[in-house]
Structure 1
Amino acid sequence: MNQQNTTQVLSPTRHFTVLLSPTPRGARLARLLAVEWMREHEVPYGVAEAATQVVAELAANAATHGRVAGRSFRLALVTHDSVLRIEVTDTRGENLPRLQPPFPPSDSGRGLLLVEALADRWGVEPGPVPRKTVWAELDLPHP
């Protein structure tokens, strides 16, 4: 009986997290910080471009729909096991996002459709009260 000894090499886990003001400026800063972090950690260009759009949408939603005066939102980026996970946590847990059909005359309401198109997976995790976390995952190419 011939057995092969194989070792699976997993990519190292990398974390980034920051608290930001729930304002348009905080949402813009989330996007800029994410771009820099992904550049530093050599996230492949195509994934980084999609992730930048996802961060922009989720941060804008947190600043617009998840805003509570005096309470920050949190951006977290994590890479592990060939996945980039983006999490945006705000303090409006009672206001869960959901996909809505786009209405042509509307200037808003398309953000989650974009997230769904760009991410491999996404979802919402309620709690702990009063928070909710909207997350999205993008698969990283295998080296």
Structure 2
Amino acid sequence: MNQETTRTPTPVRQFTILLSATRRGARLARLLAGEQLRAWGLPFEAAEQIVAELASNAALHGYVPGRSFRLALRLTEAATLRIEVTDARADRSTPVDVELPPAYAESGRGLFLVAALSDRWGTELGSPPCKTIWAEIATSTPTCPTPAAPSRPDPLQSQKGAARSTQ
């Protein structure tokens, strides 16, 4: 559900960086977010995809010559990861209700994916000319256990008990 604004609790961990509002900056945002989340020991696939979509939107729709966009990752005490991307185009509003575009459309699925991958998302208008799109993901959800590697018999162990003939 798209929400207009929300107040975030004090973050336990925080990562913020300014990036150029270009396709290269959007790609770098995704890569840096993935590395930061790995360093924090958090599941990162959904968060990395959300960062990719929001950063791409900032580069495509929020581009203002000479202005950057800001990526912020905040992990709260409540085990919620908040992803924020702030651009310099507050004049470009974000749709309140996100609908899947027609099947023939080549774009327009970014915020639909953000809505599907996040627990909550929304917008905040900052001091002009800034606008922030944010998404929150609960990180305390149980993760699937990694299956144990199949054990292989130790060839030396199996020979220890075997009788050997020395004839």
TM over 0.5: yes
Equivalent residue for 2:33?
Answer: 34
Deviations 1:92-126 (A, max 9, x none): 00102212441222111110000000000000001
- In structure 1, what is the Cα distance between the partners aligned to 2:102 and 2:90? 25
Deviations 1:64-88 (A, max 9, x none): 0000010000000000121000000
Equivalent residue for 1:6?
Answer: none
- In structure 1, what is the Cα distance between the partners aligned to 2:38 and 2:86? 23
Equivalent residue for 1:85?
Answer: 82
- Kindly tell me the number of residue pairs found equivalent between the two proteins: 129
Deviations 1:26-84 (A, max 9, x none): 0000000000000000013xxx1100100000000000000001000000000012100
- Percent of residue pairs bearing the same amino acid type: 58
- Structure 2: which amino acid aligns with 1:87? E
Equivalent residue for 1:72?
Answer: 68
Provide the TM-score with structure 2 as the length reference. 0.74
CA RMSD of aligned residues (A): 1.3
- Structure 1: which amino acid aligns with 2:70? R
- In structure 1, what is the Cα distance between the partners aligned to 2:120 and 2:140? 15
8 Å Cα contact 1:120/1:138 also seen in 2 = yes
- Secondary structure at the aligned position of 2:57 is classed as helix
8 Å Cα contact 1:58/1:134 also seen in 2 = yes
8 Å Cα contact 1:82/1:142 also seen in 2 = no
8 Å Cα contact 1:96/1:124 also seen in 2 = no
Please point out which of 37, 47, 50 is paired with 2:46. Answer: 50
Provide the TM-score with structure 1 as the length reference. 0.86
Which stretches of structure 1, 4 residues or longer, exceed 2 Å deviation after superposition?
none
